[in-house]
Amino acid sequence: MTVVTRFAPSPTGFLHIGGGRTALFNWLYAKRHGGKMLLRIEDTDRERSTEAAIAAILDGLTWLGLDWDGDVVYQFSRAARHREVAETLLAQGRAYYCYATQQELEEMRETARKEGRPLRYDGRWRDRDPSEAPKDVKPVIRLKAPAEGETVVEDEVQGRVVWQNKDLDDLVLLRSDGTPTYMLAVVVDDHDMGVTHVIRGDDHLTNAARQTQIYQAMGWDVPKMAHIPLIHGPDGAKLSKRHGALGVEAYRSMGYLPEALRNYLVRLGWSHGDQEIFSTQEMIDAFDLESIGRSPARFDFAKLENLNGYYMRQADDERLVNALEDLLPELGGDEHHLGRKFTPALRDKLIAAMPGLKERAKTLVELLDSAYYLYAQRPLRLDEKAAGLLADGRARLAGITEKLQTVSDWNAQSVEAVIREHAEAIGAKLGQVAQPLRAALTGRATSPGLFDVMAVLGKDETLLRLQDQLKDAPAA
């Protein structure tokens, strides 16, 4: 048997972080077993489905590195097939026309509310002769669900889940306007697409019972099901926007790398011993449904940041520069006078400086910020800490510009020698010279190694920045 999984989002918004994890689990399971992951857009809600949301979902999956097999299936385009199955069930006596009016359904709902029980359709048209049907009511088609016994789902994560059939009513398959319901469409599509494993959030667990009844009514094999716990916030409450329930594209804009987010998501609810860091191949080789926990996973931004920092340190320097450039419109490229592309000269400087820059940053946003000294406009705007350091140490920098002007072979070693010699000459510790010097050259109190910074800036830019900041500097 070829394993076939599917990811089936509704295009009513972005690719939610929980949806990203569901897609990842489906993708990993299919890859692990040499199978396929299919993509189906469940766009039957025509009022809320948008082209922009579809584009965001496809872009989000592509950015995360999750590919799918075959063409994207659009559920709405299969409505005729869904109707055909409903009519087949009707012809077989496994479904029936229901002529209950909206008023009757409201009365059922009100009675259930007063009696403190969930709303269940009372089956009033289940066995009635259609000749009794009122002329002015367009019927729905309902499944003639088993009234006795139980419906069982042997869930790969939740274990054996049992529903008493008396607690499950006859669900609507086809609305009065002839459109299929979500429950019917999902079953028909999963069957027709050959889906063998349905891996989705456990908010669909009750749907599993109803969908199982449709499979059984049609005499179809029920796919294996795995309902994974939802993601909660750090406080244990259901994940909301304040916790990080954003679209995958928002994490991209916040400067996370796709491999870091993938690694973080795989560990939300699934574990493999104590291992935290997984290459893509390691994830594929290790992933199984048995190791998914039943408790909700908790989203932790600090863990995600640390993981992202790890992946940035491992990343190729040029690739990080490209990732920064891709994000320029969202990282305020215009605000920093960077435009939409780096100049060739700045690109070279960024690549040269990247080994030092990426050691400290945990996101691409931080990375661009820490590279400020490379693209800052003269005269530099010093932040508060840098301004304080320069004010305290300005006198110790007197004469240093002239000494640096004499350096002919400009590199980290040669400038370090001059600065050490200067510090000794004025009886100061190296740090007492390096700190105000860093402030003058970068506008910040922290940066990659000072001598590397000076080497990347080059002699001319270094001297010009010092001249800007040290005008009228008193002698030491």
Residue matched to tokens 């010699």: 421
Q: Within 13 Å and on the Cβ side, how many CA atoms surround 120? A: 14
Give 239's DSSP letter: P
- The answer to whether 224 is a known catalytic residue is no
Q: How far, in Å, CA of 173 to CA of 186, rounded?
A: 11
- Dist. CA 393–CA 423, nearest whole Å: 12
- Establish whether 241 is an annotated binding residue: yes
Q: Which of 31, 135, 144, 241 is catalytic?
A: 241
Which two three-digit tokens encode residue 125? Answer: 């048209």
Q: Is there a contact between 89 and 143 (Cβ–Cβ < 8 Å)? A: yes
Residue type at position 151: T
Say if CB 53 and CB 274 are below 8 A apart: no
Classify burial at 474, counting beta carbons within 10 Å of its beta carbon; exposed 0-12, middle 13-18, buried 19 or more. Answer: exposed
Rounded Cα distance between 260 and 258, Å, is 5
DSSP track, 432-473: HHHHHHHHHHHSSS--S-HHHHHHHH-HHHHHHHHHHH-TTP
**Which residues have CB under 8 Å from 310's CB, separation 6+?**
260, 277
Instruction: Point out which residues pair with 201 in neighbouring strands.
Output: 228
Which amino acid appears at position 414 of this protein? S
Rounded Cα distance, 205 and 212, in Å: 11
Query: Which residue positions form the known binding site?
Result: 241
Catalytic residues: 241
